[in-house]
């Protein structure tokens, strides 16, 4: 291709890169598998209740589909290093990216990839998929709900790379969607499309307390003064 720096996105970079680039291809890298084994406490979770985000782990028979971006400008790489390494706990390495549906089957070029390893402080590792789905359902961070991260990634793969196979991703999508229906959760809220249903209610206007009735004293004419005047009629006896 060229001597420019290319970055491979396989998680939120696919649908929310956040940096400047002038060219992008969909395609894949070999020798890895995508897993939701990395914790996150800045974007999709908080300290004490981390969210689950994607990383890639070595797998000789594996293939990870995603998107390669050619970076432009001086701010792109520092932005990525802060987003993925400083805040996310990932490390960098290079891999070979293969362009999807290119006429030249050998069309490939090196890409920078961000990989979370078991020695980073946010590593959560393997777990039963139902447990991972439950954690995603209950996690939310400064960027949004963990559900949004998962579902937008699955949507990107399904719409932009329909031939991509990823049983881990799509099984988690199915489990999360099932739990959303079972628990009657608001999908639009989880996807960041509306505000939380439990936002503070409108201000309640306090009405003044009614004034107490005047006290009546015994053996006085106060009662008489309270009786409304009436006209008298003459009776014929």
Q: Do residues 53 and 12 make contact, with C-beta atoms less than 8 angstroms apart?
A: yes
pLDDT digits (tens, 9 = 90+) for 16-61: 999 999 999 999 999 999 999 999 999 999 999 999 999 999 999 9
| Report field, pTM of the whole predicted structure over 0.85 | no
Q: Where are the beta strands (DSSP E) in the chain?
A: 6-9, 21-40, 51-71, 90-99, 108-116
Q: Is 202 domain-assigned?
A: no
User: For the chain, what is the mean pLDDT?
Assistant: 85
- Which residues are CB-contacts of 102 (< 8 A; sequence separation ≥ 6)? none
Query: Position of tokens 């961070």?
Result: 141
Q: Is 214 domain-assigned?
A: no
Q: Is 205 domain-assigned?
A: no
Q: Is 19 domain-assigned?
A: yes
CA distance 44 to 117: 19
Query: Which is the catalytic residue, given 47, 74, 84, 105?
Result: 84
* Maximum distance among all Cα pairs of the chain, rounded to whole angstroms: 127
Count of the separate structural domains present in the chain: 1
To the query of whether residue 84 is one of the catalytic residues in this protein, the response is yes
pLDDT digits (tens, 9 = 90+) for 70-109: 999 899 999 999 999 999 999 999 999 999 976 655 589 9
Q: Is 236 domain-assigned?
A: no
Q: Is 178 domain-assigned?
A: yes
Q: Do residues 140 and 51 make contact, with C-beta atoms less than 8 angstroms apart?
A: yes
CA distance 11 to 9: 6
Query: Position of tokens 């199915």?
Result: 174
Q: Is 115 domain-assigned?
A: yes
Q: Is 88 domain-assigned?
A: yes
Instruction: Give the CATH number of the domain where residue 46 resides.
Output: 3.10.490.10
Range of the domain at 13: 6-190
């Amino acid at each position: 291709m060229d001597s420019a720096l290319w970055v491979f996105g396989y998680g939120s970079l696919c649908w929310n890169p956040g940096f400047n680039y002038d060219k992008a291809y969909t395609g894949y890298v070999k020798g890895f598998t995508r897993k939701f084994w990395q914790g996150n406490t800045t974007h999709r979770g908080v300290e004490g209740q981390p969210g689950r985000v994607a990383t890639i782990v070595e797998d000789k028979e594996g293939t990870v589909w995603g998107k390669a971006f050619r970076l432009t400008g001086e701010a792109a790489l520092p932005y990525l290093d802060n987003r993925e390494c400083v805040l996310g706990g990932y490390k960098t390495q290079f891999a070979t990216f293969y362009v999807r549906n290119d006429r030249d089957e050998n069309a490939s070029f090196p890409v920078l990839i961000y990989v979370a390893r078991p020695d980073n402080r946010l590593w959560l590792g393997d777990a039963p998929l139902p447990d991972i789905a439950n954690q995603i359902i209950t996690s939310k961070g400064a960027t949004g709900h963990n559900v949004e991260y998962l579902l937008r990634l699955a949507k990107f793969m399904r719409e932009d790379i329909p031939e991509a196979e990823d049983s881990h991703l799509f099984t988690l999508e199915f489990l999360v969607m099932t739990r959303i229906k079972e628990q009657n959760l608001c999908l639009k809220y989880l996807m960041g499309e509306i505000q939380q249903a439990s936002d503070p209610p409108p201000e309640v206007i306090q009405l003044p307390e009614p004034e107490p009735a005047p006290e009546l004293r015994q053996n006085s004419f106060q009662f008489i003064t309270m009786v409304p005047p009436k006209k008298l009629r003459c009776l014929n006896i």
